[in-house]
Amino acid sequence: MIEVLLALAIAGFLLTSATNLLVLISKEWADRPAARDAFDAHVNGVARFLTAVLEEATVPVLNPSGNDAIDLQRPVGFSDSDDPLIHFYLREAPPLFVWPGGTATRVHAYLLFEEGEGLSILWFSELQELEKNEEGRMEPEGEDELFKTLISPLCEEIYYSYYGEEDDGPDDFREWDHSVELQEKERQSEKFRLPAFVKLVFRGEGKDLDRTITIPIERLSPSGLKEDGR
Residue 109 within any structural domain of the chain? yes
7-34 burial by CB neighbour count: b if 16+ within 10 A, else e? eeeeeeeeeeeeeeeeeeeeeeeeeeee
Determine the average pLDDT of the residues in 8-14.
44
Query: In this predicted model, which residue has the larger pLDDT, 130 or 24?
Result: 130
Q: Which of 51, 54, 143, 147 is nearest to 97 (CA)?
A: 147
pLDDT at position 225 over 70: no
When pLDDT is averaged across residues 36-48 and rounded to a whole number, the result is 88
What's residue 102's pLDDT? 77
Is 16's pLDDT higher than 50?
A: no
In the predicted model, what is the mean pLDDT of residues 29-49?
77
Residue 146 lies in a domain: yes
Measured on CA atoms in the order 80, 83, 87, 93, is the torsion positive or negative? negative
Tens digits of residue pLDDT in 53-107:
998 888 764 444 445 789 999 998 887 667 899 999 998 888 888 888 778 889 9
The residues, any chain, with a CB within 8 Å of residue 102's CB and separated by 6 or more, are: none
- Structure confidence by residue, pLDDT tens digits, 156-206: 999 999 887 766 666 666 677 888 888 887 665 558 889 999 999 999 878
Q: Is residue 5 in some structural domain?
A: no
pLDDT, position 20: 46
pLDDT at site 190 = 56
Count of the separate structural domains present in the chain: 1
As a whole number, mean pLDDT of residues 217-224 equals 47
Q: Is residue 189 part of a domain?
A: yes
Number of residues assigned to the chain: 230
pLDDT at 28 over 60: no
Contact (CB, 8 A) for 151 and 49: yes
Its domain, for residue 191, covers 35-214
In a domain, 24, yes or no: no
Is residue 4 situated within a structural domain?
no
Q: Is the pLDDT of residue 228 over 70?
A: no
- Domain assignment present for residue 7? The answer is no
Lowest pLDDT segment from 8-12, 134-138, 152-156? 8-12
Residue 69 in 3-state DSSP?
coil
* pTM of the entire predicted model: 0.74
Using DSSP's 3-state secondary structure scheme, residue 197 falls into strand
- Whether 97 maps to a domain, the answer reads yes
Q: Is the pLDDT of residue 47 over 90?
A: yes
Give burial (CB, 10 Å; 0-12/13-18/19+) of 199.
Answer: middle
